[in-house]
Amino acid sequence: MHLHVDDDGFVRAPVGLVYRRLTDIGAWSSWWPAVRTSAIPGGEEAWQVAFGRRGPRCQAIPGTWRHDQGFRLALTGDLEGTLEFWLEEGHGGTVVHVILQADSAARRPLRVLARFRRSARRGLWALKDMLQAEVRQAIGQDA
């Protein structure tokens, strides 16, 4: 079954800072609730990613990097397709778009979709909270 997610969230932080945090896939586990990442040994940059405790598990290979505008990951595993983070500067911060285009051979693909959406939403909230606190601290406001 083909799955599609198009979600977004606003982060009151500069687009360059958001880009640096998102592209550090190995650090996702430090701020994205219940997401686990581990590097896959080998020649190319590849990651094992679990989107939540019972969510989809995939191999993610970065494919397209667009400096300060986003990047795309090729996914294999429970989701077969692409996951894209697209960054849009505006309104004193950054709109982070999460776009999933994937197929799932799971017995219950709608459950896989719901778990991915929940994980993506929690990730956007956590990214927002972390970066906005970091920006406030950098300009001397209390976090």
Any domain includes 18: yes
Any domain includes 142: no
**Rounded mean pLDDT, 128-134:** 94
Checking if the pLDDT of 44 tops 70, the result is yes
Q: What is the pTM of this model?
A: 0.91
Measure the CA–CA gap between 31 and 22, rounded to whole angstroms: 10
Checking if the pLDDT of 46 tops 80, the result is yes
Checking if the pLDDT of 141 tops 80, the result is no
Checking if the pLDDT of 20 tops 90, the result is yes
Any domain includes 15: yes
Confidence class of residue 60 from pLDDT cuts 50, 70 and 90? very high
CATH number at residue 15: 3.30.530.20
Q: Please give the tally of structural domains in the chain.
A: 1
Measure the CA–CA gap between 6 and 121, rounded to whole angstroms: 11
Checking if the pLDDT of 80 tops 80, the result is yes
How many Cα atoms within 13 Å fall on the side-chain side of residue 73? 23
Q: Which amino acid is at 131?
A: L
pLDDT at 68: 87
Checking if the pLDDT of 23 tops 80, the result is yes
Any domain includes 74: yes
Any domain includes 50: yes
**Rounded mean pLDDT, 21-37:** 95
% of the chain with per-residue pLDDT over 70: 98
pLDDT tens profile 93-121: 999 999 999 999 989 999 999 999 999 99
Domain that holds residue 106: 2-136
Closest CA to 32 of 143, 138, 116: 116
User: Contact at 8 Å (CB) between 94 and 11?
Assistant: yes
Any domain includes 29: yes
Any domain includes 55: yes
Checking if the pLDDT of 143 tops 60, the result is no
Any domain includes 116: yes
